[in-house]
Structures are given as structure tokens and as C-alpha cells.
Amino acid sequence: MEPQEFTLEQQIEKMRSDWDARAQENARYYVNTAADAWSDEEFFRSGEQTVADEILTDMGNICQGKNPERMRVLEIGCGAGRVTRALAQLFGEVHAVDVSGEMVAQARKALAGAPHVFVYQNNGKDLSVLPALLFDFAFSTIVFQHIPNREVIYSYVREVHRLLRPGALFKFQVQGDPTVETSPEDTWVGVPFSEEDAVRMAEECGFEPRYRHGAGEQYFWLWFFKK
Ligand SMILES: C[S@@+](CC[C@H](N)C(=O)[O-])C[C@H]1O[C@@H](n2cnc3c(N)ncnc32)[C@H](O)[C@@H]1O
């Protein structure tokens, strides 16, 4: 008998159900495996540290002279709101999506009372859930490193291109370790990108791949500027 093909839709459904299960079991651990029992304070402080490391050190590229309080930003894969909350302390408007309804529920709880933050459950592959808005900056960390399908990551990059203002930055992290073993049914280990893969993706999706950091490593950061 021929092996059954695992379709894209089945794969996305698996991402949603696996991440819902992880969120129900111990969302904060699966979001940041540095601890298995995070206090509220430590968990959100780790998000502030991410913003300190990846955003506050890079305000020239991110803000391009704009006042962050007047910027609208997008986060892909917000999980339990760890980084979203820190983004909301800095930027005027934050929109965040995640494939997991369970994660979205936790993120909404973490951000209750922040009227400038909007959290959406999306379909796991595009940004059609968002209202017709343009964004000044887009960010994603430790999300694409879990996506086992290159087509899905390309879809997000194209979608971010559709929603960014010209010249604006999409700063994001992908899996850069070429030795990882992926399988279409494994929603923990994402497809690796080489430098050549990253440049090709930028060019095919309308971005200028201006900077890269961490090629060959798990935390491979890309700076894609919308042309
Ligand atoms: C390790 S957590 C990181 C969450 C957050 N970025 C942070 O740093 O705290 C990965 C998140 O990506 C989400 N995710 C996984 N696959 C996704 C997909 N195809 N589309 C949108 N979100 C996805 C998961 O539901 C999960 O919340």
C-alpha cells in the first residue's frame, strides 16, 4: 500500500492541535523551555529581556526615526503573550496572531486591560484574520523554528510583505541549524534555512535581506526590509 500523503491542511491542523495540547499542559514551559514552572513575574521578565536584546538594541532599523508610541507593530506566533506584553510597553499599537486558540486565550488574559493590543487566532498560514491595516514593523521569535513546512513560512513572509509599509522591517528568527531532523508530522522541529535559502526567500517575497545573524545556528535572525 502507498504511504498516505500528509496534506498541508492536515499539517496545519496538527500544528494547531499540538500547540493547543502544549498550551493546556504547560504553556509557559513550551513557550520558553528555560523553566518548567514560571512565575508571572519571571515569565514576563523573560519577554522584556527578548525585547531588550532584539528590539531596544536595534531601534534605528525598527523605528527609522518614528516615535515608537506612534507605531503599529505585528507579532507572529505570540504564544502566551510573553513578548507581546513587552512590545505593548513600547509601541503604540500591537497586533499579534497565533495558530493555537489555547495560546491566544492565555495571551488575551496576559494583556487584559491593554486597549492598544489585539490578539487573534489565525489559520496557521496567513494573516487574513487581520483587519485592513498597514504596519510599521513586524517581529517573530521562536515560532518559525517550530514550523516543519517551508511553504508555510514563505506564506507568512509574503503576508507580512503585503501588510508592511514600504521600507519597513520584518525582523524574525528561523531555524538555522542544518543538522536538525524534521518530519512533516513533527510540529516541534522546524525546517532549517541556510544563508542562501534566506536570501532567496527575501528576494522571492519582495524584501531586501539586509542583515543576517546566527547562520548555521538555531537562532538565525533575519532583517528583511520591504522594498
Ligand atoms: C515557542 S512558542 C513562542 C511564543 C512567543 N513567540 C514567545 O517568544 O514567547 C511558539 C508559538 O508559535 C505558535 N505557532 C506554531 N506554529 C504556528 C503557525 N503555523 N502559525 C502561527 N503560530 C504558530 C505556537 O502556537 C506557539 O504559541
Q: Quick one: pLDDT at residue 139?
A: 99
pTM of the model: 0.97
Spell out which residues line ligand 1, taking CB within 6 angstroms.
Answer: 15, 19, 30-32, 77-79, 82-83, 98-100, 103, 122, 124, 141-143, 146-147, 152
The pLDDT value recorded for residue 11 is: 96
Q: What is the pLDDT of residue 151?
A: 97
- Edge to edge, the sheet with strand 72-76 lists 117-121, 93-98, 72-76, 135-140, 164-174, 220-226, 207-213
- β-strands 164-174, 220-226 pairing: antiparallel
Dist CA 72 CA 55 (whole Å)? 14
Rounded to whole angstroms, the Cα distance separating 33 from 29 reads 5
| Tens-binned pLDDT, residue by residue, of the chain (227 aa) | 565 688 999 999 999 999 999 999 999 999 999 999 999 999 999 999 999 999 999 999 999 999 999 999 999 999 999 999 999 999 999 999 999 999 999 999 999 999 999 999 999 999 999 999 999 999 999 999 999 999 999 999 999 999 999 999 999 999 999 999 999 999 999 999 999 999 999 999 999 999 999 999 999 999 999 99
Give the CATH superfamily of 8-226. Answer: Vaccinia Virus protein VP39 (3.40.50.150)
Reported residue count of the chain is 227
Least Cα distance to 209 among 188, 193, 189, 186 occurs for 193
Pocket test for ligand 1, best of 51, 126, 143 (most atoms within 8 A of CB): 143
Distance CA 94, CA 69 (A): 10
- DSSP letter at 60? H
pLDDT of residue 1: 56
pLDDT recorded at residue 5? 80
Q: Specify the ligand 1 atom closest to the Cα of 81.
A: 9
The half-sphere exposure of 55 on its side-chain side, counting CA atoms within 13 A, is 24
- H or E stretch covering 24: helix 8-31
pLDDT given at position 3: 58
Atom of ligand 1 nearest to the CA of 100: 25
For 178, which DSSP code? T
Q: How far is the CA of 16 from the centre of ligand 1 (A)?
A: 10
Q: What are the φ and ψ backbone dihedral angles of 214, each rounded to 5 degrees?
A: 90, 20
User: Domain segments of the chain: what residues?
Assistant: 8-226
DSSP-derived secondary structure letter, 1? -
Residue 207's beta-bridge partner residues? 226
